[in-house]
Structure 1
Amino acid sequence: MNQPATIVGIDVSKATLAVCHQVQDKFQHTEVSNSKAGFQQLVRRCGVECCYVMEATGVYYLALAYYLVEHGAQVAVLNPLVVRRFIQMHLGKGKSDRKDAQWLLRYGQQQPLPAWQPEEPVLVECRQIEQVMEQFIRQRTMVRNSLQGLQQQPVVSAVARKRLQQTLQSLDQQIQALEAELLTLLEQHYTREMPLLCSIPGIGRKTAAQLLLFAKGFAQVQNYRQLIAKAGLCPREYSSGSSVRGKTRITRMGGGLIRSKLFMCSFAAKQSNAACKALYDRLVAKGKNGKVALVAVCNKLLKQACAIVQSGVPYQAEFTSKLVPNP
């Protein structure tokens, strides 16, 4: 983004916004409520000809970010880990809302800021459905464990078992209904992308839907390396000098849900996907662990998904096999 001269740091909490802006080389602090009235007060004080810098703190920053963008201000939403490392790098001591807001201002003054824009409404809606579905899946796992534990006891209450079975059945129905609604929404909106992703052997409708949510419809993806890094599938070497020789592992800093989905897809892809099969066989022949080879297949699937959506050409086994050298 083209950074304006004025940067405003905002530490967001559920009820309040700690605001720090600079006036004639002096830090000015104020606090407003995290509500529309507080947003109006903030804009009257700081204006819209500046960049507001905040962290992605759950859902509490969203209403403020939407309001500021709608009124013409620039907004940057940062990963909290990035800000924490910035503070550590400058040997920051102590923590408070005022200090955090000041550190956000200093970060905005010293570092390039990514411009934040609201997501498409369909993606927001689908992500909310996905979150509810994941909550129900966790609840279903808890109920199944409770039911199994109950049945292991020497005396089993028929009433308790019946209620658990009814709850389990209800959760199954809710999950299936949410899954169908999610797929329908994405297929209606992404009429071009869904068939392209489903053309890749190893990727079905559910995974294609997860990929679209994860990549935000692939609208802002520049290359497949961004997706691999965002999914936490990048290899990370751990070595130093001659004494430290740790194992190379993936970073796991990113989307755990899409990572688990791709890993399950890799089992089918190494059998049916020409490029993935060649890659898997080549790595295993070199003595690589099977799990390492499957992670490489996950990366290959992301690379294929990015290329196919951007080109608009469905999967072609003959085309991909030419790009993969013989093992």
Structure 2
Amino acid sequence: MQNQNFAYFIGIDISKSTFDVAILNEDRTTSYFFENSKKGTNAFIRLLKNQKIPLKDTLTCMEHTGVYGKLIIAKLVEKEASFCVEMPIKITKSIGLHRGKNDRVDAVRIAQYASKNVGQLKLYEPIPEILEKVRILLKIRRQLVNARADFNKYPNELELFSPEMGKLAKKNLKKINKNLTGEIERIEGDIKKLILSDDRLNKTIGLVTSVTGIGQITALHLTVFTSFFTKYDNPKQLACYCGVVPFEYTSGSSINRKSRIHPMANRTLKKHLHMGAMAAINHDPEIKAYFERKVEEGKNKMLIINNVRNKLVHRICAVIKRQQPYVKNVA
């Protein structure tokens, strides 16, 4: 962060109905409590004004709480405040061992975290509105796809052991399946309209889908989660975030586990990249030759697939950097 000379540090702990605020100035901390509503966020801004706390000299920090933080984030963006939104586990691990927990104490700890780590924090950058709309539609689509899979799981299993009962279950779910499929297709149509309505998004999706194995839905997830690929400086960082980089787990002579993926990875991106890797193995001659060669060498198939996922991330980052579609090589 360029400006590290903040006079005040504010920690905000947000819940569904309320948010707690802790204002840290040197060694003095004051705590406040507000309703998580437009009225409450306006009251928070008035408090800062009344206490003559200038936003330009203040760094505000809060945990990423999804939809619960929308109102306060929108207000801080409107006021051009300097603030950051951090993952809860990052703050928890930074604080270290502590006893007790409540919202007021958590707000104080967040303010202390901001004061301690001001040099390493990155200011919040709002996601473009077009990506916010796509993100919402993707989430609804994902819920519908999962619901359809859940509905079909029982009759498919039942049919294995009782074909007659399985057919009965499928018959009664036929209309539900049809409606769910229709809604999924409708949402996908709305997503396509959004893509065509924005030149930057349309070009980005075109570039990413030029990589063999990467479909439109996977490209959209990558674009949304990375905010047009601006949140990561290089392919290695993005690959780590996507969960396709294994980490070593060894210590002395007693701990010598296999390298594995960190559990904090983005599971949604990892899932889509896995499907993309399987498609690339089937349809990209270069990757198919690589996969078959490694199998013949006796390598673990899941390890090879993970390497393919990593290759796809590097190819995607390359086409975004060069702003040129991927050109398939012949093995």
TM-score (norm 2): 0.87
Report the equivalent of 1:244: 255
Between stretches 48-57 and 199-208, larger displacement belongs to 199-208
- 1:1-59 residue CA offsets vs partner (Å, 9 max, x unmatched): 32322110010001111110124622111101111111122112234231110000131
Report the equivalent of 1:109: 115
Q: Is the 8 A contact 1:54 1:78 kept in 2?
A: yes
Report the equivalent of 1:325: none
Q: Is the 8 A contact 2:213 2:283 kept in 1?
A: yes
Which among 315, 324, 327 is matched to residue 326 of structure 2? 315
Q: Distance in 2 between matches of 1:155 and 1:270?
A: 38
Task: Give unmatched runs, 5+ long, in structure 1.
Answer: 322-327
Report the equivalent of 1:55: 63
- 1:87-107 residue CA offsets vs partner (Å, 9 max, x unmatched): 2x2x21111101110110111
Q: Is the 8 A contact 2:155 2:167 kept in 1?
A: no
**Is 1:34 matched up with 2:42?**
no
Shift of 1:265: 1.5
**Is 1:95 matched up with 2:80?**
no
Q: Distance in 1 between matches of 2:278 and 2:191?
A: 25
Distance 1:160 1:237, change over 3 A: closer
Report the equivalent of 1:134: 142
Which among 173, 184, 188 is matched to residue 193 of structure 2? 184
Q: Distance in 2 between matches of 1:251 and 1:79?
A: 15
Q: Is the 8 A contact 1:223 1:306 kept in 2?
A: yes
**SS at the partner of 1:113?**
coil
Shift of 1:245: 1.3
Q: Identity of aligned pairs, percent?
A: 31
Which among 6, 10, 19 is matched to residue 12 of structure 2? 10
TM-score (norm 1): 0.88
**SS at the partner of 2:202?**
coil
Report the equivalent of 2:243: 232
Letter of the structure 2 residue corresponding to residue 167 of structure 1: I
Between stretches 22-31 and 119-128, larger displacement belongs to 22-31
Between stretches 143-152 and 295-304, larger displacement belongs to 143-152
Task: Give unmatched runs, 5+ long, in structure 2.
Answer: none
- 1:238-266 residue CA offsets vs partner (Å, 9 max, x unmatched): 11111211111112422212211111121
Between stretches 165-174 and 285-294, larger displacement belongs to 285-294
**SS at the partner of 2:228?**
helix
Which among 196, 206, 221 is matched to residue 217 of structure 2? 206
**SS at the partner of 1:207?**
helix
Q: Distance in 1 between matches of 2:308 and 2:157?
A: 38
Letter of the structure 2 residue corresponding to residue 34 of structure 1: N
Distance 1:249 1:157, change over 3 A: closer
Report the equivalent of 1:324: none
Letter of the structure 2 residue corresponding to residue 16 of structure 1: T
Which among 19, 22, 42 is matched to residue 21 of structure 2? 19
Q: Distance in 2 between matches of 1:77 and 1:287?
A: 45
Q: Distance in 2 between matches of 1:31 and 1:182?
A: 40
**SS at the partner of 1:222?**
coil
Number of residues paired by the alignment? 318
Q: Is the 8 A contact 2:9 2:25 kept in 1?
A: no
- 1:156-209 residue CA offsets vs partner (Å, 9 max, x unmatched): 699976543211211111112112322332244223222222221222333222
Q: Distance in 1 between matches of 2:115 and 2:67?
A: 25
Report the equivalent of 2:276: 265
Compute the RMSD of aligned alpha carbons.
2.6
Q: Is the 8 A contact 1:183 1:206 kept in 2?
A: no
**SS at the partner of 2:67?**
coil
Q: Distance in 2 between matches of 1:274 and 1:223?
A: 26
**Is 1:175 matched up with 2:155?**
no
Q: Is the 8 A contact 1:233 1:252 kept in 2?
A: no
Report the equivalent of 1:84: 92
Distance 1:283 1:71, change over 3 A: same
Shift of 1:70: 0.8
Distance 1:205 1:23, change over 3 A: closer
Q: Distance in 2 between matches of 1:285 and 1:54?
A: 51
